[in-house]
Structure 1
Amino acid sequence: MLAASCLLSQDQFLCSICLDVFTSPVTIPCGHNFCKSCITADWRINRKCKCPCCKRLFDLIPELHVNIFIAEMAAQFKQAAVKDVSEIAKPGEVSCDFCTGVRLKALKSCLVCQASYCEIHLQRHQKVSGLLRHKLVVPLDNLEDRICSKHGELKELYCKTDQICLCHFCSETDHESHDVVPLMEASKGKKAELGKMKVEIHEMVQERKLKIQELRQSEKLSREAADRQIADGLQIFTALTQFVETGMSELTEQITQKQKTTAEQAEDFITELTQEISELVNRNVEVEQLSCSEDHLRLLQSLSPLKASLPTKNWTDISLRQPSYEGTVARALAQLKESLSQRVEELLKAELKRVQQYAVDVTLDPDTAHPKLILSDDGKQVNHSNVVRNLPDNPERFSFCVVVLANQSFSTGRSYYEVEVKGKTKWDLGVISVSANRKGQVISCPEAGYWTLQLRNGNEYVALADPDVLLSVKSQPQRVGVFVDYEEGLVSFYNVDSADIIFSFTGCFFTENLCPFFSPCFNDGGGNSAPLRISVVHET
């Protein structure tokens, strides 16, 4: 069959209406063949049953049946056509808009029809007189965008003035005085821009890949830190639970032992009383017998011994001693509290030791110091003086508040430093944003970029949190530790001597570098003359 089909021309299997290889071919009574859909549509449009080839009219619409033989031959021709791989449109090539199934390469594009045609579907434009006047060009995709909607011509020029594509008619009318160049010339410059853009895109992709790695690493570190904290917390609270369970067990044992002693005493009394009752019952029987006896000698001889054998113990004043449970629970709680306090103190010291590993070297920045502040040569100490030094009023310097910042700042990770406050009745410590206001009266609160703690009147500790928080401090710190976790949004203040947390700012959102903040406050005529001193961190 295939060999025979090769002797036939493909034109013999083309529908004269659609000029394509038959699809569901039918034979009408005159003997001509057409696609079933083509002839049916032709008769419907013309409202006559006439053969498009021989013009024969039919009175009635013939019953149409698919010609199986011609359909098989047409299918073989279609398969033979697509076997030539070179005719099949590849990615990036313009394909025929009218091919169904496998799409062939377009041979021409029609500017009037705004469609592209392969060799087979182009035949109508080469045979039909009305289509011969259409303008055919090399195959182009996206024809609607390439054709000028005003003049119907290809856009082959580029207006640099308005940065749009034009046809020749547009360049001679609306853009006559503009800088117009051919598309090829304009695209050369754009290709250079595309080259730069390609490099930029590649760099952006690489940056984002690196950021993904960074985020994954950060998430991994966060997960590991969380696992460690959970394990530490579990260990801590397991130990505390054991303390409580041990205390409860000892309390229960103590109360139970008292109750057991009381129960044993009661049982001894009951046993003794039961025995005396038994003896009395026996004596009563003897008394009854003597009472009924007529033997006077026996009665007189037995009475005295009978009286002597009666129990002599006086039970009137004997009672069960009730144990005292008052204070047992209180004493147990006091002992538990002492044990827990010791354990909590150990845990707090362990926590402080953990943050102390993030210790950083901090020195004072003289360019930020208020003119009444005196800094040591090593930048580790500051105190207040009544003398105003003649210093330049640079933007970094505090002009009203007696404050100095550190040379260092924090923008990531965790940082810790300690300040000696011994002998002072007033001070302010903490961190501030680098852009926080330093001129005039300063409002110290997180909204203004200040996360600070202050001491007033020797024993009043206040966290400036807006509203301020008055703190209860168990013991007055001689050294204050400041811990910053930038990503966690945490600023904590520690009493280094007792390892207690004085206060923590939590849930903060930092967007700028944070600078350590120091204010020794006014010396108050010598009452607050002790300096603030940045001390060396020694692990607790």
Structure 2
Amino acid sequence: MSAGSNQRSEDQFLCSICLDVFTDPVTTPCGHNFCKNCITQHWEDKVLYECPLCKDSFFARPQLNINTLLREMVDQFRRERQQEASSSSSEQQAAKPGEVPCDVCTGTKLKALKSCLECLTSYCQTHLEPHRTASGLKRHQLMEPVENLEDRMCRKHDKPLELFCRTDQTCVCMLCSVLDHKTHELVSLREESEGKKAELGKTEAEIQLMIQKRRLKIQELKESMKISKDAADRETAGGVQVFTPLMESVQRDLHQLIEEIQDEQKTTEKQAEDFIKDLEQEISELMKRSSEVEQLSRSADHLHLLQSFSTLKAAPPTKDWTEVRVRPPSYEGFVERAVEQLEEKIRKEMKKMIEAELKKVQQYAVDVTLDPDTANPELILSDDGKQVYCGDERKNLPKKPERFSHCANVSGHQSFSSGRFYFEVQVKGKTDWDLGVARESINRKGEITLSPQNGFWSIWLRNGNEYEALAGPSVRLHLQSGPEKVGVFVDYEEGLVFFYDVDAAVLIFSFTGCCFTEKLYPFFSPCPNYGGKNSAPLSICPVSQTV
């Protein structure tokens, strides 16, 4: 069939509306064919139905049925066209990027079907034919098409690399195995490849395990992010709840302050306006008297002048304005009092916040006991491990690496390497003490400097009233009153250590941004008793809700 005949044949199966091969062809009463969906959409919203080709009109919308004969012819046409396209594609398939091209083709390089290790050439189906028919070429070793065939040949003997030398861990040809590697352990490429595949399988399994671990880590980090966001949202809501009424109170106080100042100013203005009104009234009366005196002095009626003289001679009664003053009001102290009231409100709100925070951290209370194996020989511990004070004599105790040898220190028996924990210690009656947490690897021998750099997060009291946070350098703490019971809270993951005055519900000091990588132990020092002045013990107390 000629090309023109093919074109005419294809035109017979094209819908004149969509210009594509028919889909579900239907025939109108005038004999023309269209896709069912095309003619249906063409007639939508029309009052007069007409054929798109011949313009024949129909007053009633025709009932259209699928032309089964034409549909079968269209389906046959589609199948033939697909077969022709498939046959043409398989016969003339050009090499795509990444595919091995035929080395013989000129012009368009077709896709290679095989590579010859003898010829070091890759062939398409057409140029491969001699290797399948010629007796001399049939003996050549063919393989799946590959690039850089010269890399598969021994550079020394120009022979295919067919063996693997396990001794030298290299691929060799047959001549190499006889001449250069005859005493070495040789195996086929297939055998070695299978072994390497097994190793790659292990590597792949390890990689998949690493991928899985990292996916789990991603999930863990996402969960941490969610927890962090939830905590941030809660804190934000709490902050809004606290600060909104505080800001409203500030606005009210500011409005009240402005009103008080304005009231004072209005009172002063009213007083001045009243004085001015009286003065203007007196001026008016004086001006009237002045006019009367002036007229009388020009009068030619001597009798009238003498009769009026005694009345007009004296000035009308007026007020002595010499000492009258309008003193501007003093606003000194207005702002100071307002600020003091605001500070008092803030202190009350802060106290409420600390009370709520302390109540929350007390939920993480743990049972802490003192570890006698860490106690300095001068210390005396109670039988239940809850109290410690410094004695007058140094006991002869076994030397242990965990024991504090020089300073009057002792650690808690319990350690913590995650989560949150809280404990309370009574310090009532003492003039000196140290309290906090310490990491496991701290120095326990000789002189010890308490600081985070040395593994201690602690505060202390000296001389009965000198409180310091040993933050390296130390921070002087100005407390309104000395605490009798100190609460210690630690959040391991967040790197926080907080100290509270439990009874007053006051935050004493906070270490933030700490990086904990070891076990943490509660840390105590009752300090020397100084002849009985500091003989009261440090006592670990049971935790009860303070508010």
TM-score, normalised by the number of residues in structure 2: 0.71
Shift of 1:146: 4.8
- Range 364-373 or range 416-425, more displaced: 364-373
Q: Is the 8 A contact 1:415 1:485 kept in 2?
A: yes
Q: Tell me the secondary structure at the aligned position of residue 525 of structure 1.
A: coil
Partners of 1:161 and 1:389 in 2: how far apart?
70
Deviations 1:29-79 (A, max 9, x none): xxxxxxxxxxxxxxxxxxxxxxxxxxxxxxxxxxxxxxxxxxxxxxx9997
Partners of 2:279 and 2:85 in 1: how far apart?
123
Deviations 1:471-519 (A, max 9, x none): 3333322222323333333333233333433333333333223222222
Q: How does 1:342-381 map to 2 (within 5 A)?
A: 342-381=348-387
Partners of 1:412 and 1:531 in 2: how far apart?
30
Which of 107, 110, 123 is 2:117 aligned to?
110
Inter-CA distance 403–2: structure 2 relative to 1 (3 Å threshold): farther
What is the match of residue 255 of structure 2?
249
Q: Is the 8 A contact 1:158 1:164 kept in 2?
A: yes
Q: How does 1:57-72 map to 2 (within 5 A)?
A: none
Which of 475, 479, 482 is 2:481 aligned to?
475
Shift of 1:110: 1.0
Partners of 1:521 and 1:295 in 2: how far apart?
115
Matched, 1:393 2:413: no
What is the match of residue 65 of structure 1?
none
Partners of 2:228 and 2:160 in 1: how far apart?
60
Matched, 1:83 2:90: yes
Q: How does 1:423-438 map to 2 (within 5 A)?
A: 423-438=429-444
Inter-CA distance 245–77: structure 2 relative to 1 (3 Å threshold): closer
Q: Is the 8 A contact 2:418 2:492 kept in 1?
A: yes
Query: For residue 122 of structure 1, what is the amino acid of its counterpart?
Result: L
Q: Is the 8 A contact 1:381 1:532 kept in 2?
A: yes
Partners of 1:480 and 1:404 in 2: how far apart?
17
Inter-CA distance 133–186: structure 2 relative to 1 (3 Å threshold): closer
Deviations 1:150-209 (A, max 9, x none): 444444444444544444444445544444444444455555544544443333333222
What is the match of residue 456 of structure 2?
450
What is the match of residue 491 of structure 2?
485
Q: Is the 8 A contact 1:112 1:152 kept in 2?
A: no
Matched, 1:417 2:423: yes
Inter-CA distance 96–408: structure 2 relative to 1 (3 Å threshold): farther
Q: Tell me the secondary structure at the aligned position of residue 348 of structure 2.
A: helix
Partners of 1:386 and 1:150 in 2: how far apart?
91
Partners of 1:308 and 1:286 in 2: how far apart?
12
Inter-CA distance 494–158: structure 2 relative to 1 (3 Å threshold): farther
Query: For residue 448 of structure 1, what is the amino acid of its counterpart?
Result: N
Q: Tell me the secondary structure at the aligned position of residue 320 of structure 2.
A: coil
Structure 2: state its 5+ residue gaps. Answer: 4-82
Q: How does 1:3-82 map to 2 (within 5 A)?
A: 80=87, 82=89
Partners of 1:267 and 1:78 in 2: how far apart?
108
Query: For residue 445 of structure 2, what is the amino acid of its counterpart?
Result: K
Inter-CA distance 385–172: structure 2 relative to 1 (3 Å threshold): farther
Shift of 1:260: 1.1
TM-score, normalised by the number of residues in structure 1: 0.72
Q: Is the 8 A contact 2:102 2:112 kept in 1?
A: no
Shift of 1:215: 0.7
Inter-CA distance 414–310: structure 2 relative to 1 (3 Å threshold): same
- Range 414-423 or range 94-103, more displaced: 94-103
Shift of 1:219: 0.7
Partners of 1:389 and 1:168 in 2: how far apart?
85
Q: Is the 8 A contact 2:379 2:390 kept in 1?
A: yes
Deviations 1:408-443 (A, max 9, x none): 333334433332222222222222222233333334
Deviations 1:107-152 (A, max 9, x none): x531562x543443335667999x9599524437575665444444
Inter-CA distance 503–109: structure 2 relative to 1 (3 Å threshold): farther
Partners of 1:146 and 1:375 in 2: how far apart?
82
Q: Is the 8 A contact 1:480 1:494 kept in 2?
A: yes
Query: For residue 252 of structure 2, what is the amino acid of its counterpart?
Result: T
Query: For residue 109 of structure 1, what is the amino acid of its counterpart?
Result: C
Inter-CA distance 121–396: structure 2 relative to 1 (3 Å threshold): farther
* Aligned-residue identity in percent: 55
